[in-house]
Amino acid sequence: MREAKFYETETTASDATPVRFVYDKEADILEIFFGENESATGVELTDHETMVSKLEL
């Protein structure tokens, strides 16, 4: 099993929203997160698209 290689950086959008970028080099996937971390679930739509929805508890 190969070691995962993730690259992560954070910045702030012009409206002060925190933005976090996480790149998985092995899988060639870039994830972009807006706002603070919240519980969510994802649904794979195609091999290249995933829809993520916020969970309401």
In a domain, residue 38? The reply is yes
In a domain, residue 1? The reply is no
Parallel, antiparallel, or unpaired for β 6-12 and 29-34?
A: unpaired
Predicted confidence at residue 48, as pLDDT, reads 78
Answer with the residue of higher pLDDT: 10 or 52. Answer: 10
The pLDDT tens digits for 5-48 are 889 999 999 999 999 999 998 888 888 888 887 766 777 788 87
Say how many residues make up the chain.
57
DSSP 16: S
In a domain, residue 45? The reply is yes
In a domain, residue 19? The reply is yes
Q: What is the pTM of this model?
A: 0.61
The range of the structural domain enclosing residue 41 comes to 6-54
In a domain, residue 47? The reply is yes
In a domain, residue 40? The reply is yes
- Give the chain's domain count: 1
